[in-house]
Chain A
């Protein structure tokens, strides 16, 4: 795009926002106007005939002339100031260049938090909201290890897999982007309020939807194209047969991004979608190497691979119990049988281990090793 930096920054953002907020102006019409008129302020001043000559429908041209806004742009900017949020326009240096490659890129992004790094190597991790313990652990671990290697993690801050993808990156002191399907001031789901704050401090939250946009089923697939569009590859951890994660994966394919999938148990409905992807040619992922390999990146083997020794000192009983635990949940009766300890001993020891953070108790009296 050419010659837009002639007005001061906030004026510029005001015009961009104004044009975007006009009823009927979507991303593709906006880009057309930008191409023809050079900048949004010029498009806003153009008369109806010029707009129609540019290939804009008459009713939308009228809306532009009448300044028929969905939301008052001035109010919107005031709101953003209060929230300490900013707008990243299509021509802003912060706008991820990889996102311009896709069909219908968002012409502007509302953003909160840190600056989006320039030299991005983003990997998206997405999956089911109603995920299993296995899926959440896989998402968290892989995210953690990718983030440790300096790779940025993108996800949608939904329940389940998304939440753990962000958590893994944050745990590794890494950078993560949450792409919302709601307004920048709407935290959804509510229980992720804490996570929202953490991402805001250590990453970036972006959305293309105006402030106050409530969670709405139809917006999430629209958002998903940004998740895949901003990333070099998309890892699907758990997904049912017809799910949003599969929509993200198909966006990724159309956008020329790599698609990865984590396998699950063959009888789990939560893995039907990922198995479908693998059958279609998505790469099966067991560990981060499987992802990095596709991009020609190699990491040294010497790292702490799969060494899950607890850091705390264990008593003899605790050791005995720890040995029969696994990374998949084990039922208390199995622990009792294989340790040959008293049920009472096992229960009280497990509570202490739980409080030390070595094990985790799941519904159904199931216990798993707690991975840091």
Chain B
């Protein structure tokens, strides 16, 4: 894809650290197109992963004819009218839902605020535990749900906030109401927010370079390798899975970085609550840079990926 340099960089970071990501942009800005390309910059599936994915599709009865192993990472994009059972699975006997079908791949939720509240709420547990336990009369099944959540939304109800051609007609209150439809706990599980601008026709139709270019994939693989090495004694694989104890051990900040975060909290209205998110992203950025220490530049860039935490400015 041409253009969207900023978005592409953010996706590279998200994939490297297996961070969930939220894309905010006007209608037609290519959010779906960007999301679809994410599997192409993810590391290829291991044999175990392929086996696991194939098993789930087999149980779901969605294995297509040939019967061979599924080798491509799944990309699931359920419509926002989906029910909670459709999302996490259920029925008798319990069949896997979208989150399990997206296992080892990407779960893309377009128009995030349009999803029913209860559907978004049931996502919280699997996002944390990376599997889902479904209990129905007499049967209890556990399906894996290790997916990368990629969500997209308009910046405001009319869709044109921050657009340079169209004028946004929403009031501040309307925008706040729209954004508050996504609950805080869910937002807390999304590490990166980015804004995606509208693309002109020319940019859209120009020949796609693909964010799945080889160099990006190589950088992602290297960053993943660094993480595997770092966490080999800790039962986790990626930066996004770090808990408080890991943060303490692996995300030490120098004085300069600390004062930068302090400044950002004070001046940009970023809440102190997101401190650990910023640390995780900064860790991934440092890994992409192949740097052992988190430097102030890494922290500064990380702060820029927390848009929804900022005060609304016009």
What count of chain A residues pass the 8 Å CB interface test? 34
Binds B, one of A1-9, A92-100, A352-360: A352-360
Residues of B within 8 A of A (CB-CB), count: 38
Taken together as a complex, chains A and B put the C-alpha atoms of A125 and B155 apart, in Å, by 30
Are A363 and B314 interface neighbours, CB within 8 A?
A: yes
Q: Is the CB of A337 within 8 A of B5?
A: yes
Query: CB-defined interface of B215-229 with A at 8 Å, one 1/0 digit per residue?
Result: 000000000000000
Known: A133-B314, A362-B313, A363-B313. A344 touches B297 (CB 8 A): yes
A366 with B9: CB separation less than 8 A? no
Question: What is the CB-to-nearest-CB distance from A130 to chain B, in angstroms, rounded to a whole number?
Answer: 7
Q: Which residue of A lies closest to B298 (CB)?
A: A348
Q: Indicate whether A336 reaches chain B with its CB closer than 8 angstroms.
A: yes
**Which of A10-18, A106-114, A325-333 contacts its partner?**
A325-333
Q: Which of B155-196 contact A (CB under 8 A)?
A: 155, 161-165, 167, 169, 171-172, 194-195
In the bound complex, how far is the Cα of B268 from the Cα of A268, in angstroms?
Answer: 29
Do A132 and B167 touch across chains, with their CB atoms under 8 A apart? yes
Does A366 lie within 8 Å of B162, measured CB to CB? yes
Q: Are A130 and B169 in contact (CB under 8 A)?
A: yes
B239 to chain A, nearest CB (A): 16
On chain A, the residues within 8 Å of B105 by CB distance are none
Q: Say yes or no for B303: interface residue by CB 8 A criterion.
A: yes
Cα of A133 to Cα of B167 in the assembled complex, Å: 11
How long is the Cα–Cα vector from A354 to B5 in the complex, in angstroms?
Answer: 20
Question: Looking at the complex, which one of B3, B163, B304, B313 makes contact with A347 (CB distance below 8 Å)?
Answer: B304
Offer 26 A-B interface pairs, CB within 8 angstroms, sorted by A. Answer: A130-B171, A131-B314, A269-B169, A329-B164, A332-B5, A332-B6, A333-B3, A333-B197, A336-B5, A343-B5, A343-B6, A343-B9, A344-B297, A345-B297, A347-B304, A348-B296, A351-B264, A351-B301, A351-B303, A351-B304, A354-B267, A362-B313, A362-B314, A364-B197, A365-B162, A365-B195
- A351-B301, A361-B313, A364-B155 known; 19 other A-B pairs, CB under 8 Å? A130-B171, A132-B314, A136-B314, A347-B6, A347-B300, A351-B264, A351-B300, A352-B260, A352-B300, A354-B267, A355-B260, A355-B263, A355-B268, A361-B310, A364-B195, A365-B6, A365-B194, A365-B195, A366-B162
- In the A-B complex, the 5 residue pairs with the closest CB atoms: A364-B162, A348-B300, A363-B162, A343-B9, A365-B195
Residue numbers of B with Cβ under 8 A of A are 3-6, 8-9, 155, 161-165, 167, 169, 171-172, 194-195, 197, 260, 263-264, 267-268, 285, 296-301, 303-304, 307, 310, 312-314
